[in-house]
């Protein structure tokens, strides 16, 4: 198939590369010429394991192309994915200007039948707005070219996106048009050879499914974090509690790990957007999700509170090693990351920091360009030198089995604040560390 993907951000680029990988001819459109030049030269604007090799392989094979030409992109694909950003507005709602602009550009230049696919995470009713925008542009041209609009929300985990796309657990298609549904079934056939994973539903239900999925996962995380805070006060171990409740098949083990709060480009934004959609479009208060959001915002400051409880509210003269800046492992994404709250809390109390992250330091340097009290180390061991304590924020694999004697020798005091519960408390405390984790 010939496919156009509008937007070369995280979702757009992963989708384009994976669709090209199975033999499709894919053209990526982005209005940022610097980003397109970077992609054409074999670079990537994001970090995702395995993506660079896949992009280069399909560019070399002639199946993956990049352009800034709107008209060329509109003429190219029969299936046109809209995968542009939907950042949160000041009121928490999703900013739809880029989605609608993409739709209008399709309407301005299309000359034959198109299946327009909303791949971006968008509020319920977006497909109707996209359809109206395209129809309006066609009317201005005085033409009646047929098209369909479907919803196909993405369920990609940063750090495992290629595997999620190539081996999907489910493929949700929101479609009210039989021809469009047939096209989407054909498109996704190579990704579900063993059994049918494609779920077809009405468009609005598909749009809500994406928000509902992320809101449910965020709810599980915030619930476990609150339970961890309670366990700590009651003298219980949240890891033992997790095993106890996770063994119930009605609950399961996924997304039951307590920590220092969730972040990233999806959960915080989508929870806010669903709360706003409910209030604006349905006059409803989402009480559970409002609590989830409040609990998560508070959880991001738990590490800072533990550090100040141990070293005092005034941290002037104290220096801390920070392991991890990304919101999770295997990504360079620091949007809404807990590291921001930790950095803010410690700097505000007068401390200095040396941070290390395997891939996200360049993003942090961009966010904190003029902060002399925040420095960066070339490796995790270098970050420890002269620090009063180690603070772990991201669960990178290389942090999971460190050289504890080296850590102890490098620190001024053998204190570890673990925001991701990476270690067994008895083991670490047995080596002479003061170990402060979450709910342990």
Q: Which two tokens stand for residue 180?
A: 């469009």
SS (H, E, C) 372-427: CCEEECCCHHHHHCCCCEEEECCCCHHHCCCCHHHHHHHCCCCEEEECCCCCCHHH
User: Residue 25's closest CA among 16, 14, 12?
Assistant: 16
Q: Give SS3 for 60.
A: helix
> Do the Cβ atoms of 391 and 322 come closer than 8 Å?
yes
Map tokens 């791949």 to a residue: 119
Q: Give SS3 for 314.
A: coil
How many residues are there in the chain?
440
Task: Choose, from 18, 28, 266, 367, the residue flagged as catalytic.
Answer: 266
Residue 87, C-beta contacts closer than 8 angstroms, at least 6 positions apart? 94, 95, 269
> Do the Cβ atoms of 248 and 254 come closer than 8 Å?
no
Burial of 431 (0-12, 13-18, 19+ CB in 10 A): middle
b/e code 209-234 from CB counts within 10 Å (16+ = b) = bbbebbbebbbbbbbbbbbbbebbee
Write the DSSP assignment of 235-251 as a string of letters: T--HHHHHHHHHTSTTT
Write the CA distances from 196 to 171, 181, 186, 207, integer angstroms.
Answer: 9, 14, 12, 21
b/e code 259-273 from CB counts within 10 Å (16+ = b) = bbbbbbbbbbbbbbb
> Do the Cβ atoms of 306 and 373 come closer than 8 Å?
no
For 440, half-sphere exposure in the C-beta direction (CA atoms, 13 angstrom radius) is 26
For this structure, is 266 an active site residue?
yes
Strands 79-82 and 64-67: unpaired
User: What is the helix (H) or strand (E) element at residue 147, kind and residue range?
Assistant: strand 147-151
Q: Which residues are catalytic?
A: 266
């Amino acid at each position: 198939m010939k496919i156009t993907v509008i937007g070369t951000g995280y979702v757009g680029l992963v989708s384009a590369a994976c669709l090209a990988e199975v033999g499709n001819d894919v053209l990526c459109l982005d209005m940022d010429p610097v980003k397109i030049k970077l992609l054409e030269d074999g670079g990537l604007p994001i970090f995702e394991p395995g993506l660079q090799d896949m992009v280069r392989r399909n560019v070399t094979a002639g199946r993956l192309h990049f352009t800034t030409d709107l008209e060329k992109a509109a003429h190219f694909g029969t299936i046109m994915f809209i995968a542009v950003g939907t950042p949160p507005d000041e009121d928490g709602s999703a900013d739809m200007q880029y989605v609608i602009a993409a739709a209008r550009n399709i309407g301005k230049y299309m000359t034959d039948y198109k299946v327009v696919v909303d791949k971006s995470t968008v509020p319920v009713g977006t497909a109707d707005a996209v359809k109206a925008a395209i129809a309006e542009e066609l009317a201005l041209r005085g033409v009646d070219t047929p098209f369909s609009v479907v919803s196909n929300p993405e369920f990609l985990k940063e750090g495992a996106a290629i595997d999620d796309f190539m081996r999907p657990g489910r493929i949700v298609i929101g479609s009210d048009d039989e021809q469009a549904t047939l096209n989407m079934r054909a498109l996704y056939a190579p990704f579900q050879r063993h059994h049918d994973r494609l779920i077809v539903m009405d468009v609005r239900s598909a749009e809500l499914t994406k928000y509902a999925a992320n809101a449910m996962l965020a709810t599980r995380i915030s619930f476990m974090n609150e339970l961890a805070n309670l366990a700590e006060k009651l003298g219980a171990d949240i890891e033992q509690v997790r095993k106890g409740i996770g063994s119930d098949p009605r609950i399961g083990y996924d997304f039951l790990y307590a920590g220092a709060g969730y972040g990233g480009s999806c959960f915080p934004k989508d929870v806010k957007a669903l709360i706003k959609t409910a209030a604006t479009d349905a006059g409803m208060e989402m009480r559970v999700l409002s609590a989830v959001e409040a609990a998560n915002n508070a959880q991001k400051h738990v590490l800072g509170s533990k550090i100040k409880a141990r070293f005092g509210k005034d941290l002037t003269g104290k220096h801390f090693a920070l392991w991890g800046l990304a919101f999770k492992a295997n990504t360079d994404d620091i949007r809404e990351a807990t590291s921001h709250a930790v950095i803010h809390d410690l700097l505000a109390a007068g401390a200095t920091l040396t941070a290390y992250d395997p891939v996200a330091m360049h993003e942090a340097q961009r966010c904190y360009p003029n902060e002399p009290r925040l420095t960066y180390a070339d490796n995790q061991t270098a970050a420890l030198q002269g620090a009063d304590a180690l603070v772990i924020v991201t669960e990178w694999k290389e942090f999971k089995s460190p050289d504890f004697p080296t850590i102890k020798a490098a620190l001024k005091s053998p204190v570890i604040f673990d925001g991701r519960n990476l270690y067994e408390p008895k083991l670490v405390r047995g080596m002479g560390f003061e170990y402060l984790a979450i709910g342990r």
